Structures are given as structure tokens and as C-alpha cells.
Structure 1
């Protein structure tokens, strides 16, 4: 299973304010930043309940008929208008990967702070694509949290956009490969 993280963060490393607001994100500028290509390449998007609930507050559902898996240990209310494409699951990242692999899924897009952190901590993320927004918000929900081990990354690309956004793409290197690169 290939797992990709595609997310925007403030320059000081936050993905949302403490209350979940993302009002600091710029308005869409017509620049795609690779989102459409990513969505065509993934079988499903896995997100946490808080991210899902935030996405429901927007007038537009951004995911079309793409399969969405919402991770939550609590019941999730899924509106009828998207219920054919959205489901709720509970379990560890490894259990989620096993279930979705069993369905034939080969590429997941993982979104949401805690969800990203859990998948990264469990060594399941292959690629990180972070779009840096040129704003400092001072505090909020961090993109990265505590880890049980170092996560080594290999820089793959950096793209800058006329809007001022800068996107960094990294491959996550397995611990064994990271040691080999250092030697």
C-alpha cells in the first residue's frame, strides 16, 4: 500500500488554529498545486473525524465520488448526500491499511493532524507533500507531533507558485534504508 500525505501548513507548522479554524488559508487562486493529479491516483482518502466534520462546514464537497474513510472511535454522522462514498472505521493505522488492502486499494491519501501523526508514527507513510502558506499563526494544531523514532526523509522536489505558496515533497525512508544512506 502506498500512503501519501498532501496538506497545507502555516510557515510555523500549524494545519489549523486550536479551534480547528483554517481561516488563514488563502482563497483559491486557480492554482492546482497537484491536488487533481493526486486525487486521480488514489483509491481512497483516509481522514480523521475532526477533519471530516470541518469539511462538512463548506458549501462544496471537494471529493466528488472518491471513497472517503473517516477514522473515529465515536459514531460519525454521515449526511445522506455523500453516504454512498463515505464510511466510518475504527482501528489502528495498521488495521485500517490491512482492511483497505484486502479490498484491493493500492494508494491512500491520508489527511488530518492526528491521523497523519499516527500513520507516520507507525511507519506507514511513503510520501509527504506539504504546501507551505506564507503566514505565521503563532499557535494551533501542529502538523507533526511526538514520534517514537526519527523519521528520515529524502527531498524529492520543491515547487513555488505565483501566489507565494511553496510546496515541498519528500519520500519517507525506511529506518533500515536511512542507516544505509548515512553509512
Structure 2
């Protein structure tokens, strides 16, 4: 059975990017040289699903950051070709979350990294997230793109662990209670 997994950082006030999508504030902490566990996390991931906002934020990073196949969920991008420099690394689809996961499962994927605020929100609403690793960055942005949004029902989480880092980051892991 295929499962969705989140590994993401937020500002202390819960934003994953500024209103304009800028994530420079986050990259400053990524450059600290600390091991925040991403390499261990991604080792067991078969594919990555992200939304258009996340794709737009990372598409021009050189070299391409992701070592797993990326599926971008976007009705707008689904009508466009993948940039030639990302051919074979990225696909676009307009499929909704359940259908995208079913497609990846049919391709042999078992563990999928779900990235991007609106995509994470939609996958949570659909019950497609198994666990979340959320790293809080010691910065207040005041406004921006929130990690979480409105839900039709409560999503109960079970705390697994929390660990602080010398840079001030605090990382917590949760499983989604069934």
C-alpha cells in the first residue's frame, strides 16, 4: 500500500514561504551544515509529489535538488511541456491526490514524499498522509504561505519525537492517528 510522508520546515509562526513564494530565509538555515535528517528521510522515498507553488520555488535551483522522480500536481502545468533540463526528472499532471497516488502505486511506488503547503493540506484532507516531520525555524515572518489551512475535520496526530539543533531549529515528528 502506498503512503504519503511530509518533511518540511516552517517559520515559528507557521509559514513555509513568504507571500510571494520566497524561501531565502529558509535557505540560510539549510546552509548551516547541520544534518536535519533529510538524507535519511529521502533514502526510503520512491517519488516526490509537489504542487506548482513549490515547483516554481525550486525549478531554477542548480543543480536540481531532488534525487527521486518528481510529480507536480497542477492543472495549469499539466497543459505544458516539462522544461527540457528537467525531462526524465519531473512530470506534470492535473490528477487529484487520490488518482495521483493510485498512479504512482501502479508504477511500484510505496513511499511518497508530499511537499508544498496546499498539496500537504489536500493530502491531509484526503487522509493520504501517514506521518509528518516538521522543523520549526526560529524566525517570525508575520505573513506568508501557511503550512496548514482549513480542514473539514480534526486531524489527530501522535507525537513521536522532538529534537533541537544548535542553530535553533526544532524538529518534531508525528504520525497521523487513524
Q: TM-score, normalised by structure 1?
A: 0.90
> CA separation in 2, counterparts of 1:127 and 1:108?
11
**Structure 2: gaps (5+ residues):** none
1:22-57 per-residue CA deviation (whole Å, 9 max, x = no partner) reads 122124111121101111110000000111111023
* Structure 1 vs Structure 2 CA RMSD: 1.2
Matched with 1:44 is 47
Task: Write the deviation string for residues 56-96 of structure 1: whole angstroms up to 9, x where unpaired.
Answer: 232331113x1100110013452222211211111221111
The question of 1:87 aligning with 2:91 is answered: yes
Does residue 55 of the first structure (1) align with residue 58 of the second (2)?
A: yes
Within 5 A, what are the aligned runs for 1:16-27? Answer: 16-25=17-26, 26-27=28-29
Structure 2 equivalent of residue 181 of structure 1: none
Please identify runs of 4+ aligned residues in structure 1 that moved more than 3 A.
none
Tell me how far apart the structure 2 counterparts of residues 154 and 129 of structure 1 sit (CA, whole Å): 12
Structure 1 position 145 matched with structure 2 position 154: no
Give the distance between the partners of 2:90 and 2:24, measured in 1 at CA: 25
Secondary structure of the residue that 1:119 maps to in structure 2?
Answer: helix
Q: 1:68 aligns with which of 45, 52, 70?
A: 70
Between the aligned partners of 1:24 and 1:56, the Cα distance in structure 2 is: 18
Show the counterpart of 1:129.
133
> Partners of 2:128 and 2:62 in 1: how far apart?
32
